[in-house]
Structure 1
Amino acid sequence: MRELRISPAQFETLASGTGGPDAIAILRDGQISKHIAMTLTIMDLARESCSDVWDDLTEAFEVLLAAQRKAPEAVNRFLGLPHIGLWARRCLDRLNEDSTRAAAEVCGLGPIAATAGIIAGLHFDLTLPLRADAVAFPTLGVAHLPGEGPARITHDESGVRMSRGGLSVSVPSGAPGWHGALMLRAGEGDNAIAVEIVDLERSDSDETATLDAATLAAWRELFREAWDLLVRDHPEWVTDLRVGLSAINATSPSRRNEVRNGTARNGFGYFRARFPDNSWSLAETIIHEFQHSKLYALLDLVPLHEMNPEARHFAPWRQDPRPVPGLLQGVYSFIAVTEFWRKRIGIAAGGHRRLANFEFARWRLQVIDAIDALLESGRLSSAGAQFVKTMRATAMEWHDVEVPAEDDRLAQRVVVENRIVWRLANIHPDPAEIRELADAWLAGEQCPLDPAAVSTTLAYDGIRRRFERVCLLQTRLSDPAAFEELCASATARAAADFAGITEADLAYVRDDFSMAARFYADQLESHCEDYESWAGLALSLESHEALTQWPEIVHAVHHQVREAEPRVLASWLRR
């Protein structure tokens, strides 16, 4: 393999948020080298741990080497795919912790070697030790061969055949027992892209997508529309994605927060996606998740930070404190998301224009704060500091973008709301000092401590946010008619996955803050641990600094003196 080196210009372009096809190709080639090294390590470890399947592994490895010699460029490209990286990572984990499970995992080398042989046009006859009724061949499809014992796969002049017991399967798509890979296709000519639909996070051998026909058709239509949007409005992303994006775990429709988008550490060019609401949200997701892939791959080549697991930083896109590596991942993804919405301001119309204003304004505020936290962390390498400073230079250009005052106000409100809920979930005041405050309140004395001086510890309490209120606000901006229908009908809210929205939330999102404050105060009387209600109350009241700056102090004292009205308690704390 050639030496892989990111040039200073490519490094700066990657740091600014995009990359360019040459830089993405280097990141991809880095994955090829890594996956080959991981496979060699697997073979070394498996020699002792998986002696019962060692002969089969050796046979498969020889086929893989022969395929690489016959068609090095095509096979190396195949070896760089996320299928190989995620399989190799699972193998190494199993080999290091559980040899009984390792054998089943490392036997995945057989289908990988067979696929490489087919790609290379290599003739071979290979044993596949199967422990299930189906076996997946990366990028090709899945063969179903119920039965016991190993299978054999043969590739010669007549094609590819698999046999197990008395069953036989021919590999061409459409043959009985064979299910070809499901694909998402879009674009034409130089803008064409083909992405496999596959679940690569499962450790079993059957990676077939489980989408019904209607859902598959919907995904294909949404992907075409999202890709057309990127080609038309965001061409700077298209070439990079064509080089790097190869697979999506496209999931079925689900309730909000049941399925989350996510990118696997060792799966460059692959991500899991919840069923999208529309084409532009899918386009945003594709850009967001591909950023994670790029940064993970860059980190394999260039160390950007210390490997310190201490989680102590606020990240507005997460509910828990984040270590520097996690915060950097979030910043890098959201710098691209913010750029996406910045550009959409000049393209979208009507309600979507207002939504673009709002999304751009809220992320620009939060990304810059997170960048500054990274620069102040002391955990970045010299290359990492340069990388983050380049991101900051991109972010500072956003200050010149004008956003209508009303949309900017709503964005700032959500930014403050995020911080309030995060502080309630993660910052825990010293119990003795809270008891001192509670005793002073009960005795009718003045507040004895400055809330800013109360000692605290940092630990995530595990309570998850609902985010329904923010989603309802997004609906208010993008589709006012749908918003009014949701406000008027509990049935409509339930159907649209807004069943958790309360009367207080409705008043808050409609800017009826007086009514919202009364409703939230009532909710807290019976559900004093509802952080969403605390945030809603804080933002519905005027001039209650303690509720917005130190909500965890107000909450903790209120827990001791339940009869205290939160707004009165907040005023007392500021005396």
Structure 2
Amino acid sequence: MIAAPPRPAAFAALAATRPGPAGTAFLRSGMHARRLLLLKALLVRVRRHRDRIAPETLRGFEAAWNLLERTERGAPGVVRAVLDYPTTGAWLAAALTAPPGPALDRHLAHLEPLAATAAVRAGRPLDLVLRAPGGVLPLPGAGNVLVPPGPVRLISRSQVVRVHSEAAPGAPAALLRPVGPPGGAVTGSGPGWRGLRELAGGAARLDDLDPYRAPPGGVGTPARIAAERPDIDHSAWSGHWRAARELLRRTDPARAVEIGRTVGALVPLLPQGPRAVGATLSVAPGAVLMTPSAGAFDMAETLVHELHHSKLSTLHELVPLYRPGRAAVLYRVGWRADERPVSGVFQGAYAHLALADLWRRARDAPRVPGAWSTRAAQQFDHVHDQVGEALAMLLESDELTNEGREFARHMRQLHASLGASPGARG
């Protein structure tokens, strides 16, 4: 998907890793346009392969599509929020690449609970039957309901939705209801209800339930696997999140605000060592996947690092920064033992430049803990030269587009200012 670059000032601010309303709005609107494009592509795929889709799956998909359209007409903001939730992007990617047959049918069925979630959030009247594979009815961005395997009926009355198991008609029902401002969120109660936990000071949820929160085989090398709810210390995650946000607020208030507005899902991964290991998925911007952190410093750094991977991936999809080059062209960067293609150099340079900016501010900020300031000074000295070397590689490469070269030049300007006196910083 190719779009016109944002205005020069916003483009420069994005390249300098600085949060700004214009750059954020450009990325957010571009991401939403891409979601709509992928959703339309999925509809086209269903129509093309309808003879190879199970009749029950096809009926459910078409009914869910109609429900989503009706909800969108009355509450477009609600549907946008559900479609823009990070895991919706991961679901669309899986559904668009699955081969026709049982795998595709399984992914298509997810549109039913997604449309139902939007309808519940919008307070629409409901009386529909959904499937709950494995006895779990997922509600993206809200939680899930554990039910006996089999069909599940959702019936609303006065904006309270009762979740009945068709397989056990006499069993007590879970209840769902919209909360907050119109279209704000969904909460629940009763047997089987498991809600996502909100994280303080922003829109983020600790998502340990969504079936699309991480790839089935894990993410990265070695593979990092999504943690399950019984294995997660929710109070520790919430405490580290609050402490990291406060640390960022003292160090760089604009970054603290950006984290709160941009990170929609924090996805716990199984532990791998004493410090946090983070990851992002290009198909799910707004989700940060990470192993448990060692504390506020560790989580703050991981959030900033991974957010900038996500921002650059989204920007590159809208405005290509580099073009596919020769497969043999690899580069060695200071923060990796293996050689990297130009995409990896660009991603790493951008994320580490954001950290260098953060560490420079933490080193000089008067109101941050002394241990954070000392750590930041050490980390800054270690990374600053590595980023400079990577930027030189990028600017000498013939794989960058014109926009990519301009972006890298702006990155170099920030990098140069970080090595100047403290008063030279913006």
- Return the TM-score normalized by structure 1: 0.64
SS in structure 1 at match of 2:132:
coil
Which residue of 1 is the match for residue 94 of structure 2?
A: 90
Which structure dedicates a bigger proportion of its chain to helix? 1
Distance 2:415 2:345 in 1: 16
Q: Deviations over 1:399-448 (max 9, x none)?
A: 2259xxxxxxxxxxxxxxxxxxxxxxxxxxxxxxxxxxxxxxxxxxxxxx
Given the superposition, is the C-alpha separation of residues 395 and 5 from structure 1 closer, same or farther in structure 2, using an over 3 Å criterion?
closer
2:378 counterpart (358, 362, 367) = 358
Counterpart of 2:214, as a letter, is E
1:453-502 deviations in whole A, cap 9, x for unaligned? xxxxxxxxxxxxxxxxxxxxxxxxxxxxxxxxxxxxxxxxxxxxxxxxxx
Tell me: CA distance 1:128–1:319, structure 2 relative to 1, closer, same or farther (3 Å): farther
Partner Cα distance (1:125, 1:217) in 2 = 37
Residue 320 of structure 1: which of 335, 338, 352 is its match? 338
- CA distance in 2: counterparts of 1:4 and 1:386, whole angstroms: 14
CA distance in 2, matches of 1:60, 1:221: 38
Which of the numbers 46, 51, 65 marks the counterpart of 1:61?
A: 65
Equivalent in the alignment of 2:198: 183
Q: What amino acid is the match of 2:69?
A: L
Equivalent residue, structure 2, for 1:398: 418
1:196 is aligned to 2:205: yes
Percent identity reads: 27
- What displacement does 1:151 show? 2.2
**Alpha-carbon distance in 2 for matches of 1:4, 1:119:** 34
For residues 82-231 of structure 1, the aligned pairs below 5 Å read 82-94=86-98, 97=99, 99-147=101-149, 149-157=150-158, 159-164=160-165, 165-166=167-168, 167=171, 168-171=173-176, 172-185=187-200, 192-199=201-208, 200-202=213-215, 210-212=228-230, 215-231=233-249
How far apart in 2 are the matches of 1:158 and 1:28? Answer: 30
In structure 1, C-alpha distance between the alignment counterparts of 2:67 and 2:403, rounded to whole Å: 40
Whether 1:300 aligns to 2:317 is yes
Give deviations 1:306-357, integer Å, cap 9, x for gaps: 0337251112233322111121111111100111111111135655443222
Question: Aligned pair in 2 of structure 1 residues 115, 394: CA closer, same or farther (>3 Å)?
Answer: same
Query: Aligned partners of 1:275 and 1:214: how far apart in 2?
Result: 9
Shift of 1:210: 2.8
- Structure 1's 109 and 208: CA in aligned 2 closer, same or farther, altered over 3 A? farther
Contact 2:277 2:302 in 1 (8 A): no
Tell me if the contact between 1:32 and 1:77 (Cα under 8 Å) persists in the aligned partners.
Answer: no
- How far does residue 183 in structure 1 lie from its aligned partner after superposition? 2.0
Counterpart amino acid of residue 334 in structure 1: H
Evaluate the alpha carbon distance shift between residue 193 and residue 262 of structure 1 in structure 2; reply closer, same or farther with a 3 A threshold.
Answer: same
Deviation at 1:208, TM superposition (A): 10
Q: Residue deviations 1:495-548, cap 9 Å, x none?
A: xxxxxxxxxxxxxxxxxxxxxxxxxxxxxxxxxxxxxxxxxxxxxxxxxxxxxx
Mapped to 2, the partners of 1:173 and 1:306 lie a distance apart of: 47
Q: 1:131 offset after TM fit, Å?
A: 2.2
Residues 267-297 of structure 1, C-alpha deviations (whole Å, 9 max, x = no match) = 1111111111110221111111111111111
Q: 1:231 to 1:350 in 2, by over 3 A?
A: closer
**Partner AA of 2:88 in structure 1:** I
Does the 8 Å contact 1:90/1:203 carry over to 2? Answer: no
The superposition leaves residues 47-79 of structure 1 with CA deviations (integer Å, 9 ceiling, x where unpaired) of: 324243111100000111111111112321331
Change (3 A) 1:319 1:102: farther
Aligned 8 A contact 2:175 2:189 in 1: no
Q: What is the CA–CA distance in structure 2 between the aligned matches of 1:399 and 1:184, rounded to whole Å? A: 35
Amino acid at match of 1:324: V
**Separation in 1 of the partners of 2:227 and 2:128?**
26
Contact 2:202 2:261 in 1 (8 A): no
Q: Does 1:50 align with 2:53?
A: yes
Opposite residue 70 of structure 1, the aligned amino acid is G
Larger strand proportion, structure 1 or 2? 2
Answering whether residue 81 of structure 2 is matched by residue 77 of structure 1, we say yes
Distance in 1 between the 2:122 and 2:369 partners?
50
**2:174–2:190 CA contact under 8 A, matched in 1:** yes
C-alpha offsets along residues 68-92 of structure 1, whole Å, 9 cap, x if unaligned?
Answer: 1111123213311212111101111
Q: Pairwise CA RMSD of aligned residues? A: 2.4
1:351–1:169 CA distance, 2 compared to 1 (3 A): closer
Tell me, yes or no, if the aligned pair for 2:125 and 2:159 is still in contact at 8 Å. Answer: no
Contact 1:136 1:208 in 2 (8 A): no
Post-superposition shift, 1:156? 3.9
Residue 194 of structure 1: CA displacement?
A: 3.5
Matched residue, 2:399: 379
Q: Secondary structure at the match of 2:279?
A: coil
2: CA distance, partners of 1:353 / 1:19? 22
Contact 2:331–2:345 (CA<8 Å) still a contact in 1? yes
Q: Which amino acid aligns with 2:358?
A: F
Contact 2:251–2:358, Cα closer than 8 Å, also in 1? no
1:240–1:125 Cα change, 3 Å: same
Distance 1:155 1:300 in 2: 40
Alignment deviations for residues 21-55 of structure 1 (CA, whole Å, 9 cap, x no partner) = 23212211212111121112112212324243111
**How far 1:202 sits from its partner (Å)?**
4.5
Q: Counterparts of 1:176 and 1:162 in 2: how far apart (Å)?
A: 10
Contact 2:126 2:161 survives alignment (8 Å): no
Q: Distance in 2 between matches of 1:151 and 1:290?
A: 37
Structure 1's unaligned 5+ residue stretches are: 186-191, 403-575
- Match of 1:382, as an amino acid? N
User: 2:353 corresponds to which residue?
Assistant: 335
**Quick check: 2:322–2:399 contact (8 Å CA) kept in 1?**
yes
Does residue 286 of structure 2 align to residue 282 of structure 1?
Answer: no
1:369 counterpart = 2:386: no
